Chain A
Amino acid sequence: MNKTKRSIVCRCEDISEEDVLKAIDEGYTDLEELRKKLRIGMGPCQGRVCIQLVMKILERKTGKKIPKAALQTPRPPLVPVSLGTLAGEEK
């Protein structure tokens, strides 16, 4: 284990603040590009835990305010649902 302190911003994909800062330094300064590079918001939480944090880090680092409209599109089913349940009864 790495003994240095890691601040986790995305628990689903195990992404730390350092990972986000590194990606921003590499040129991923758009919230969507950052999300697609690091898979933030693609896990079971669907961005509820991480997106606000990543947005704040990005705003702090770039000094630019991110408009609310830039937030990711909500993607159904919003909470994890089993394929068996969604399949339901065949008619």
Chain B
Amino acid sequence: MKNKADVVIIGGGVNGCSLAYGLTRKGLDVVVVEKKYLASGATGACGAGIRQQWSTSENAELAIESVKIFEKLSKELGDDIEFRQGGYLITVHDENEMKQAEKNVAMQRSLGLKVDILKPDEINDVVPILDVNGMCAIGATFCQTDGHANPFKTTFAYAHAARENGAEINTYTNVVGLKTKNKELNAVVTDKGIVKTNVVVNAAGIDSKGIAEIVNLDLPLVPFRKEIMATERMKPLFDAMVISFKDGIYFSQQREGQIVGGIPIPEERSGYKTMPTISFMQHMSRTLTRYAPVLKHVNMLRHWTGFYDVTPDARPILGEVKELKGFIQCNGFSGHGFMLSPMVSKLLTDLIANNKTSDVLMSLNLSRFKGKKIEREMSVVG
């Protein structure tokens, strides 16, 4: 393991690896430290969706810019990340939801996104297997340029490109300490050695809170266990991701033909427990077969858990903290880390390599939680 670097990134998920790629392209010497294997946390457990339809303009902007990068990413990295744009169909169930949807769509359109409000009888044009009455939908919003990519392949492709550029990626390596001097970071201590550095990026997903605690920094992150399932493969039935904020369900058909989706369970609690529950299997199956009755004969093959690292406003914490020079946050994605990663790593690359900040980065700084009124992201599922 190297004993010094320009930047040490803690966390080998999609954000850590994409940032390693971005920084090494700028000629910086980067070391990544991952406690398990690449994409072993939230990235590897996620639903693979890429959505631009948000309620806060920061998230929408990050997502719109991310999609522009995703569109060219396979070519750029020289590896197929399986990006496809089948759209996101967001079902709307009552007047209140419709008001919020109209507000969201107006904001999204002002950012240049093409998004439509659909009437109930137009829903089946997008996803034929849905039972509009069973879902109790009074409409939907649809954005064709939303879509999917393969989270493993994206992470591996970023990691591969970063390594080619000279990054050192250490898996099965634990961070045990952070050394500071005059309120400035100066080394990362791992169980495999010490790396001297003045810049540390905390991209450790739910473990980011523990990393920050080493330097007595309190991050407002709460881990929520989320469950997700996959069915057997079928012929292609629909292209879009279907989500409902009211029922909390999301599901889509992946490239290989399996349906992957999740839903919160009624007794959901925060915490670090990872066991999958029978309650999830029942709740998911009941809701999914209510949305698409034709799926009742389809087999569920497996279900697994992952974590959302949830912040008080469901938006990420990005950028350098005021309390400690050189300590950069890249966490708190609240379930949306994969889809936002291309733009997040671009902004953080600009910050670290060129000392260039941006409005989005400023508004997502940790300092926003101190005293000020925060705007909460409303469009959260799963």
Co-complex (A, B): yes
Asked if A25 lies at the interface with its beta carbon under 8 angstroms from chain B, I say no
7 interchain pairs, CB-CB under 8 A: A30-B38, A33-B156, A73-B304, A75-B276, A77-B281, A82-B298, A84-B296
User: Residue on B with the closest CB to A26?
Assistant: B160
Complex: A77 Cα to B284 Cα, angstroms: 13
Interface residue tally for chain A (C-beta within 8 Å): 26
Closest chain A CB from B80 CB (angstroms):
12
Closest chain A CB from B136 CB (angstroms):
14
Instruction: Kindly list chain A residues whose C-beta atoms are within 8 Å of the C-beta of B301.
Output: 42-44, 46, 77, 80
Instruction: Kindly list chain B residues whose C-beta atoms are within 8 Å of the C-beta of A81.
Output: 299-300
* B302 engages A84 (CB within 8 Å): no
Determine the interface band of chain B, counting residues with CB < 8 A from chain A. Answer: 35 or more
User: Residue on A with the closest CB to B304?
Assistant: A75
| Selected contact of A30 from candidates B37, B153, B232, B295, CB within 8 Å | B37
* B282 engages A88 (CB within 8 Å): yes
| Selected contact of A32 from candidates B37, B153, B303, CB within 8 Å | B37
Q: Which 9 A-B pairs have the closest CB atoms?
A: A84-B296, A80-B299, A75-B302, A86-B285, A87-B285, A36-B152, A83-B285, A87-B286, A30-B37
User: Residue on B with the closest CB to A13?
Assistant: B256
Instruction: Kindly list chain B residues whose C-beta atoms are within 8 Å of the C-beta of A86.
Output: 281-282, 284-285, 300
Complex: A82 Cα to B289 Cα, angstroms: 10
Complex: A54 Cα to B295 Cα, angstroms: 32
Q: Which of A30, A76, A80, A84 has the most CB of B within 10 A?
A: A76
With A32-B37, A84-B297 known, 17 other A-B pairs at CB within 8 A are A27-B160, A30-B37, A32-B40, A33-B38, A33-B39, A42-B230, A75-B302, A75-B304, A76-B278, A76-B281, A77-B281, A77-B300, A80-B300, A83-B288, A83-B296, A84-B289, A85-B285
Q: Given the known inter-chain contacts A30-B171, A81-B299, please indicate yes or no for A37 contacting B281, CB distance below 8 A.
A: no
What 0/1 pattern do residues 297 to 341 of B give for CB contact below 8 A with A?
A: 111111110000000000000000000000000000000000000
* A83 engages B300 (CB within 8 Å): yes
Instruction: Kindly list chain B residues whose C-beta atoms are within 8 Å of the C-beta of A80.
Output: 232, 299-301
What 0/1 pattern do residues 11 to 48 of A give for CB contact below 8 A with B?
A: 00000000000000001101011001101001110100
Q: Which of chain B's residues 260-306 have a Cβ closer than 8 Å to chain A?
A: 276, 278, 281-282, 284-286, 288-289, 295-304
| Selected contact of B297 from candidates A32, A43, A73, A82, CB within 8 Å | A82
* A44 engages B232 (CB within 8 Å): yes
| Selected contact of B295 from candidates A39, A43, A46, A83, CB within 8 Å | A83
User: Residue on B with the closest CB to A46?
Assistant: B302
| Selected contact of A90 from candidates B286, B288, B298, CB within 8 Å | B286
Instruction: Kindly list chain B residues whose C-beta atoms are within 8 Å of the C-beta of A73.
Output: 304
| Selected contact of B299 from candidates A27, A75, A82, CB within 8 Å | A82
Instruction: Kindly list chain A residues whose C-beta atoms are within 8 Å of the C-beta of B231.
Output: 83
Instruction: Kindly list chain B residues whose C-beta atoms are within 8 Å of the C-beta of A84.
Output: 285, 289, 296-297
Instruction: Kindly list chain A residues whose C-beta atoms are within 8 Å of the C-beta of B285.
Output: 83-87
Closest chain B CB from A90 CB (angstroms):
6
* A36 engages B160 (CB within 8 Å): no
Closest chain A CB from B109 CB (angstroms):
36
Complex: A86 Cα to B301 Cα, angstroms: 12
What 0/1 pattern do residues 148 to 169 of B give for CB contact below 8 A with A?
A: 0000110010001001000000
